Amino acid sequence: KEEICIRVEFLGDEIDRIREVNYLTGEVLKEREHFAIFPASHFVTREEKLKVAIERIEKELEERLKELRDENKLLEAQRLEQRTNYDLEIMREVGF
């Protein structure tokens, strides 16, 4: 089977064309009226809910980091901060 990809062309903020193209050559193989695109994950969150969740996680992180630092558990605090910030970055980029 020929390797294809879908090219979505926009005119402003509206879809102008949908085309199947050869991913190596860019040759247009077929014009499409519509094409179903599904999320890469089953988890799709509205932006506002995601924002609230991230704010809560950040607040809880600060509280927990203070506890760990007060107990002189600096390595644990550092690991928690790095891991949580990485997860938050992924959440912001991917949306879950």
Q: What are the pLDDT digits (tens) for 40-87?
A: 766 666 788 888 999 999 999 999 999 999 999 999 999 999 999 999
Strands (E), the chain: 4-11, 14-22, 28-32
DSSP label at residue 73: -
CB-neighbour burial class of residue 7 (10 A; exposed 0-12, middle 13-18, buried 19+): middle
Strand order in the sheet with 4-11: 4-11, 14-22, 28-32
Decide: pTM greater than 0.75. Answer: no
Q: Look at residue 4 and give its three-state secondary structure.
A: strand
